[in-house]
Chain A
Amino acid sequence: MDEVRRLAGAAWAFRARVEREASSRFARLADAIPVFDPASPVPDLLRRAAGDEDRHALLCAELAAAYGSPAPASTMDVRIAPRSLGPRDAVLYEVVAACCITETESVATLATLLAEQVEPRVRTVLHEIARDEVVHGRIGWAHLSREAAARDVSFLSPWVPSMLAGTVEDGLFSTAAPAPEDEELLRHGVLPRPRKKEIFLRTLEEVVFPGLEKLGVSASPARAWLLSALRHVGA
């Protein structure tokens, strides 16, 4: 049980950090978009989302502390766009990576967790975060949609594998046997790795890739990357 609590605490502490970083990123992107798209509704949504993420970070940190793993208070705003992209393309890259991919994956993970038997305190936190994350995922698709209506966004296609590579945590594609504590962790809001892998892949195949293709970004390089990653681990 101590090991389960330690792992659950580490997961929630990591989530607190992820949420804080999302807050900084959203606030920065909100300031960047009006330079080239002054009529966009996205900056206001991003500012609201930044506030949501601060609140989520607190909720995650409280849960982490309850499991005995205090979350670090510091945060960094890491810019992830390739250096070869101009400012407008860099914003689009970052919005797609952070919202169309990561937030969309997060919504699928949260929905999956909420369908399971989880501790009441964990359920309350999951529920509050899930409600907001739907909006955050939608922000990315809203921005990509506006950009796709205004100009050619196909340059993103070869970069999607880099976004995915940076989204996947170490060992996600591993074919190792589930750990004994996996099922117990589910009660504390942490998906067992095989389940997480399944959700990740299905979300890509059924939501992210079709969404990108609908809006003019070919998913072929991303599919090739995924196939290669799965082959590499023998999955």
Chain B
Amino acid sequence: MLFSKLFRLLVLGGAIVGSASGCAGPGQAQPAADKKADDRDGGASSDSRSAQTQDADGGTAQTQAADGGSAADGGGGGVLGW
């Protein structure tokens, strides 16, 4: 019960909020030349407890490799919460 309510409240409710002001354009991303890794990672320490960067752990690195990314070239992390 809690979880189906959460799905409606968050996922469906969020989709409604997202559609409130028209749509995002597909071609408005910054050019590839602006894709500087340090724009996103610069100055960030890797020792935070609440934002963890994924190391090259078996399954994760393999699935990333299928998409062209890899843990070795700066794998993504996640955010610890409650």
Contacts and interface: CB of A to CB of B under 8 A. Distances in A.
A162 B64 contact: yes
Contacts of B42: 79
Interface stretch (A1-9, A61-69, A131-139, A180-188): A131-139
Given A85-B69, A109-B82, A207-B11, A166 B17 contact: no
A215 B34 CA distance: 27
B82 A15 contact: yes
Q: Which of B40, B48, B67 has the most CB of A within 10 A?
A: B40
A158 B66 contact: yes
A138 B82 contact: no
Contacts of A79: 40-42, 44
A202 B41 CA distance: 32
A48 to B, nearest CB: 12
Contacts of A157: 67
A36 B25 CA distance: 7
Q: Which of A98, A138, A162 has the most CB of B within 10 A?
A: A162
A206 to B, nearest CB: 4
B72 to A, nearest CB: 10
Given A109-B82, A138-B10, A228-B59, A162 B23 contact: no
Contact of A76 (B7, B11, B23, B45): B45
Contact of A161 (B10, B18, B59): B59
A191 to B, nearest CB: 8
Q: Tell me the dominant secondary structure on chain A's binding face.
A: helix
Nearest to A129: B82
Given A78-B48, A138-B14, A155-B67, A87 B77 contact: no
Contacts of A161: 54, 59-60, 63
Interface of B: 2-4, 6-7, 9-11, 13-15, 17-26, 28-30, 32, 34-35, 37, 39-42, 44-45, 48-54, 57-60, 63-64, 66-71, 73-82
15 contacts: A14-B50, A18-B80, A78-B77, A80-B51, A81-B76, A82-B73, A83-B37, A86-B30, A109-B82, A137-B10, A138-B14, A159-B69, A203-B6, A207-B10, A224-B59
Given A86-B30, A108-B6, 17 more contacts: A15-B82, A21-B48, A36-B25, A36-B29, A39-B23, A41-B21, A80-B52, A80-B77, A85-B69, A101-B78, A102-B80, A142-B14, A142-B18, A163-B76, A165-B78, A167-B78, A206-B6
